[in-house]
């Protein structure tokens, strides 16, 4: 997405200076795609998740700000005859105490499609209820906290509630020590024809340059200051056997 702005020194007023929103791919320029982070508040503390994008104490985004933002997006897209798709992320979006008010507001504004990315920690009935407004539900499975059998049960219950124009996708975070569970869940999703991605994770480092291993760091908030961007960062994070089994899955 390419956003054209008038020159301004005041970043607080930047949203008032937008003069064009165009897609880098011209055939898709009729779409206006928004990825909206509702804040870093999260009930998980995964060892591989940067402390810059999650915590357990941030204030929830103010509803007045949300209302004005939704109105601005809806007004712009109507004026420019664009179809709008909003993706809500976090943190954990479902933790917002007025999350259902937010997604109803977005849908009532005329925005065509809403997707939400969640850590799958909410009850199945909460996700099913949200499908009245949410078109595309993305669940990230984090086995530092999630239990395989409960995840299976939850995902299949949600799948059974899907209706036309409602879709489900899983990001299965295949962490070291939980590759068996990750592969078992991936196979079930394949058998059940549920969209999924089996993903190796990129670990963080502590202050000594050592990997923060699952179950020994993130759950107690023991994050290091560095975020791994090094090629082949999984070299000693996963065992050779785990890497081979992940690579062989089809």
pLDDT in tens, the chain (250 residues): 444 333 334 444 545 555 566 666 666 667 888 999 999 999 998 988 888 888 888 999 999 999 999 999 999 888 888 889 999 999 999 999 999 999 999 999 999 999 999 999 999 999 999 999 999 999 999 999 999 999 999 999 999 999 999 999 999 999 999 999 999 999 999 999 999 999 999 888 777 777 788 887 554 444 444 444 444 555 578 999 999 999 999 8
pLDDT at 128: 98
> How many C-alpha atoms does 223 have within 13 Å on its Cβ side?
19
Report if residue 21 sits inside a domain.
Answer: no
Domain region containing 172: 30-248
Instruction: Report the number of distinct structural domains present in the chain.
Output: 1
Report if residue 12 sits inside a domain.
Answer: no
Report if residue 14 sits inside a domain.
Answer: no
Report if residue 139 sits inside a domain.
Answer: yes
Report if residue 7 sits inside a domain.
Answer: no
Structure tokens at 109: 């504004």
8 A C-beta contact, residue 215 and residue 146: no
Strand (E) or helix (H) holding 242 = helix 240-248
Q: What is the CATH number for 214?
A: 3.20.20.70
Report if residue 4 sits inside a domain.
Answer: no
Structure tokens at 153: 């049960």
Nearest to residue 59, comparing CAs of 23, 10, 95?
95
Exposure string over 61-73, b if 16+ CB within 10 A, otherwise e? beeeebeebbeeb
User: Residues 211-250: pLDDT tens digits?
Assistant: 788 887 554 444 444 444 444 555 578 999 999 999 999 8
How far, in Å, CA of 229 to CA of 72, rounded?
36
Q: What angle do CA 151, 107, 4 make, to 5 degrees?
A: 105
From residue 126, alpha-carbon distances to 26, 61, 189 in Å are: 38, 20, 21
35 backbone dihedrals φ, ψ, rounded to 5°: -105, 120
């Amino acid at each position: 997405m390419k956003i054209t702005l008038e020159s301004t020194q005041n970043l607080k007023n930047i949203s008032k200076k937008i003069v064009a929103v165009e897609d880098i791919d011209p055939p898709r320029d009729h779409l206006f795609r928004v990825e909206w982070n509702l804040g870093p508040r999260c009930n998980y503390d995964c060892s591989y998740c940067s402390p810059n994008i999650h915590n357990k104490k941030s204030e929830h985004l103010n509803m007045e700000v949300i209302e004005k933002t939704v109105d601005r997006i809806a007004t712009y897209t109507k004026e420019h005859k664009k179809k709008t798709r909003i993706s809500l992320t976090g943190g954990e979006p479902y933790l917002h105490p007025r999350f259902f008010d937010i997604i109803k507001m977005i849908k009532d504004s005329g925005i065509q499609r809403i997707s939400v990315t969640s850590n799958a920690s909410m009850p199945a009935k909460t996700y099913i209820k949200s499908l009245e407004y949410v078109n595309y539900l993305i669940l990230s499975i984090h086995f530092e906290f999630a239990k395989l059998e409960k995840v299976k049960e939850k995902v299949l219950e949600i799948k059974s509630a899907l209706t036309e124009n409602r879709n489900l996708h899983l990001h299965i975070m295949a962490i070291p020590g939980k590759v068996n569970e990750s592969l078992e869940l991936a196979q079930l999703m394949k058998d059940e024809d549920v969209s999924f991605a089996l993903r190796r994770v990129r670990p963080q480092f502590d202050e000594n340059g050592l990997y923060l291993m699952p179950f020994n760091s993130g759950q107690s908030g023991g994050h290091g200051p560095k975020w791994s961007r090094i090629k082949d960062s999984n070299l000693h994070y996963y065992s050779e056997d785990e890497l081979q089994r992940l690579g062989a899955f089809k």
